[in-house]
Amino acid sequence: MKFPICEFAESAEGFYSQCASCPIDSSSPGCALDELEDGNYLFEGATPHGGVQALFYFKDNEGNQVRKRDAIHVEIHELDAEGHLMTILYGMVDPEGMIYLKKSDSETAHNQDNIQ
């Protein structure tokens, strides 16, 4: 599954590659992400693990929240229709703008869901 799909860049299978360090403002028509008031980003639509939306948390090397174009790290929370956490993906942006992802195990995601 190519995810998310925007109108500006080709998505690689299994990667969120087109969002990493993307210079396109999320308010531009055709961007797959919406920037939220808290500075995080929302994708609405089918996610790779059966969710209906995903929250993107972009961070620098010190763990501070940054705009997507300045990110070194990303944490992506996939949510189901009721807003429950389904899985967490962790990624690191490389100089080419690709994000390499590591999926949380289901027990970790389940425990995170119970904490919230």
Q: Is the peptide bond before 4 cis (omega within 30 degrees of 0)?
A: yes
Task: Flag the least confident range among 54-58, 68-72, 79-83, 104-108.
Answer: 104-108
Q: Which is more confidently placed, 21 or 36?
A: 36
Domain boundaries, the chain: 17-115
Using alpha carbons, list the distances in angstroms from residue 49 to 9, 14, 59, 66, 91.
Answer: 22, 11, 23, 26, 16
Q: Which is more confidently placed, 113 or 52?
A: 52
Q: Which is more confidently placed, 53 or 15?
A: 53
**Number of Cβ atoms within 10 Å of the Cβ of 79:** 19
Region 78-96: mean pLDDT is 84
The helix (run of H) or strand (run of E) holding residue 59 is strand 53-59
Range 57-65 contact pairs with CB under 8 angstroms and sequence separation of 24 or more:
65/39, 65/40
Threshold 0.95, pTM exceeds: no
* Pair of tokens at residue 50: 């059966």
**pLDDT value of position 109:** 47
**Does residue 32 carry a pLDDT above 70?**
yes
Give the separation between CA 5 and CA 12, rounded to whole angstroms: 10
pLDDT band at 37 (very low <50, low <70, confident <90, very high): very high
